[in-house]
Amino acid sequence: MHDLPGHILTISFIESLKNADRWLFRKINEDWTSPFFDVVFPLWREAITWMPLYIFLLVLVLLNFGFKICPWIIGFIVTVSLTDQISSHVFKTLVQRPRPCHDPYLVDNIRLLLEYCSNSFSFTSSHATNHFGMAFFIYFTMKKYFGKWIYAFFFWAFTISYGQVYIGIHYPLDVTGGALLGTAIGWMTAYIFNARFGLPPLRSNQKPAVQL
């Protein structure tokens, strides 16, 4: 085994990783299921479901900080833009991994809970990248104000990412890679924001207008 050329060992490792990824995908997509989640997860990934959370967040920071919070809002928007562009136009273009709904090893057994299967590539999951990027940007910039509730953003990001596998449009490694990429981008934009701007004081130096 140790005498095999390095590239053969690399190919063998990649194939083993793909097989493990398919196995876990089938567990999540076919075995670990329920009628309740069959209804929830297709809706959970849609903007109409998660957009109200971020609108509420925008209203919340404006109530507490006023318009001096605008640099933070811009940083948040930049984070979303970077996660989407880097995931969709860099990683997917470079890796070019077909989605599981186009995988000949899975196509006959997959439970596709959407009415379509996108022709775009699979790695990384842009949903996972976007939501983990936003979660980490919020965490690294706002954690002292949200307290323990800050972790709800990670739970939110995790459930949306898990749902991408559950409904049959991403592999587990797609969402894992997306989560790691989003984490890196969220940390970077938060670091730049904290170093260059930082949060303004609360309005009138009072307690937050809305308690979390």
Q: Residue 118 above 90 pLDDT?
A: no
CATH code where residue 142 lies? 1.20.144
Any domain includes 212: no
Any domain includes 1: no
Any domain includes 210: no
Chain segment 39-75, per-residue pLDDT in tens = 999 999 888 888 898 899 999 999 999 999 999 999 9
Is residue 207 within 8 A of residue 153, CB to CB? The reply is: no
Q: Which domain holds residue 11?
A: 6-205
Residues 111 and 132: their CA atoms lie apart, in Å, by: 26
Split at pLDDT 50, 70, 90, the class of 9 is: low
Split at pLDDT 50, 70, 90, the class of 2 is: low
- Return the C-alpha torsion angle 37, 52, 130, 212, nearest 10: -100
Q: Mean per-residue pLDDT for 26-31?
A: 95
Percent of the chain with pLDDT over 90: 71
pTM of the model: 0.89
Whole-number pLDDT of residue 209? 47
Any domain includes 211: no
Domain count, the chain: 1
Which residues are CB-neighbours of 121 under 8 A, at least 6 positions away?
A: 92, 93, 95, 96, 97, 98, 99
